[in-house]
């Protein structure tokens, strides 16, 4: 006979099983939420690979000084 499996995962802080219906999901408690927040605030979590700065790569693609303005005739190129 098949058993019904409930959706859940482990708390990222203490590894206790947490169900999706729990109010603090994905954490098991307010305490674990605050511990995780403290790790983020104190730079306890780091990204292991450098992030490419996408803003520098795209900087030359869009020049604000060459923006087109709306033409008075609606942009059709024909006089009114």
Q: Which residue segments constitute the domains of the chain, with CATH numbers given? A: 7-46 (3.30.50.10)
Residue 25 has pLDDT above 90, yes or no: yes
Express as a percent the part of the chain with pLDDT over 70: 55
11-15, 31-35, 49-53, range with the lowest pLDDT: 49-53
| Inter-residue contact 31 to 38 (CB < 8 Å) | no
pLDDT at 49: 78
Q: Find the mean pLDDT for residues 13-27.
A: 93
**Paired strand residues for 9:** 18
Q: For residue 14, name the pLDDT band (cuts at 50, 70, 90).
A: very high
CB burial of residue 1 (10 Å; 0-12, 13-18, 19+): exposed
């Amino acid at each position: 006979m098949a058993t019904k499996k409930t959706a859940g995962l482990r708390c990222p802080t203490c590894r206790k099983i947490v169900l999706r219906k729990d109010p603090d999901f994905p954490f098991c408690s307010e305490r674990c939420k605050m511990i995780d927040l403290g790790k983020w605030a104190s730079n306890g979590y780091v990204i292991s690979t450098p992030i490419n700065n996408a803003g520098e790569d795209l900087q030359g693609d869009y020049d604000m000084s060459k923006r087109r303005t709306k033409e008075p005739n609606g942009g059709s190129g024909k006089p009114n």
